[in-house]
């Protein structure tokens, strides 16, 4: 796909749109191209950290943005919706791949090395998907409990429980 007409998108219905977005009142119009460019780093990193794989994360982020394109203009909070779509995509990807894959480590940055953080990263990667997803959503994406519940298709109470179990598992791993 290529968004080569900044400011305008021809959607599947054939209508050309300049779309208002309610997320930033001071910016009355936001084109899909601008949103794409702005949201891409967050989408890519959020997806990659959720699935612990940058190649798959990149594809999930692209897929989520592609899904939003035909209905662009309907979102009050497009970034929140994007996160939900990515979380759903990640969940589906995990469901299909959990048999063949337990974890794939992410790329680490050069330079500073912290063995304890490395161990924690491994422990996070080894968590069941929903437990890891809650941690990523809470501590990386700063999502609200309601957003997390929606993204994970569960009740807010379940989100709390998943977070609690995830932290307990990490604490156990670190103590060991």
Question: Is 6 an interacting residue with respect to other proteins (CB under 8 A)?
Answer: no
Query: b/e for 145-172, b at 16 or more Cβ within 10 A?
Result: bebbbbbbeeeeeebeebbeebeebbee
- Residue partners of 87: CB distance under 8 A and separation at least 6: 50, 133, 137, 151, 152
CB of 158 to other proteins, least distance (A): 19
Instruction: Answer yes or no: are the C-beta atoms of 35 and 82 closer than 8 Å.
Output: no
- Here's the x/- map for other proteins, 58-87, by CB under 8 A: it reads as xx--x-------------------------
**Among the listed residues 11, 23, 121, 154, the single contact to other proteins using CB under 8 A:** 121
**Among the listed residues 82, 136, 143, 149, the single contact to other proteins using CB under 8 A:** 136
The residue assigned the tokens 């967050």 is: 42
Angle of helix 32-51 versus helix 54-68 axis, rounded to 10: 140
Question: Is 49 an interacting residue with respect to other proteins (CB under 8 A)?
Answer: yes
Stretch that binds other proteins, among 8-16, 80-88, 135-143, 153-161 (CB under 8 A): 135-143
Stretch that binds other proteins, among 24-32, 75-83, 119-127, 145-153 (CB under 8 A): 119-127
CB of 25 to other proteins, least distance (A): 26
**Among the listed residues 31, 32, 44, 159, the single contact to other proteins using CB under 8 A:** 44
Question: Is 48 an interacting residue with respect to other proteins (CB under 8 A)?
Answer: yes
Q: What is the token pair recorded at 65?
A: 């943005």
CB of 119 to other proteins, least distance (A): 7
Q: What is the token pair recorded at 90?
A: 């990640």
C-alpha radius of gyration, the chain, whole number? 18
């Amino acid at each position: 796909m290529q968004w080569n007409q900044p400011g305008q998108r021809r959607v599947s219905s054939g209508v050309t749109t300049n779309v208002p977005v309610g997320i930033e009142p001071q910016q009355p119009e936001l084109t899909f191209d601008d949103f794409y460019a702005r949201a891409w780093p967050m989408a890519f990193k959020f997806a990659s950290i959720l699935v612990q794989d940058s190649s798959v994360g990149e594809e999930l982020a692209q897929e989520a943005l592609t899904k939003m394109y035909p209905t662009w203009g309907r979102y009050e909070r497009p970034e929140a919706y994007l996160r939900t779509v990515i979380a759903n995509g990640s969940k589906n990807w995990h469901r299909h791949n959990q048999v063949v894959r337990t974890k794939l480590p992410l790329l680490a940055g050069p330079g500073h090395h912290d063995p304890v953080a490395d161990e924690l990263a491994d422990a996070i990667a080894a968590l069941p998907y929903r437990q890891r997803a809650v941690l990523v959503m809470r501590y990386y994406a700063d999502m609200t409990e309601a957003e997390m519940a929606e993204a994970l298709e569960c009740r807010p109470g379940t989100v709390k429980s998943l977070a609690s179990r995830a932290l307990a598992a990490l604490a156990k791993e670190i103590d060991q």
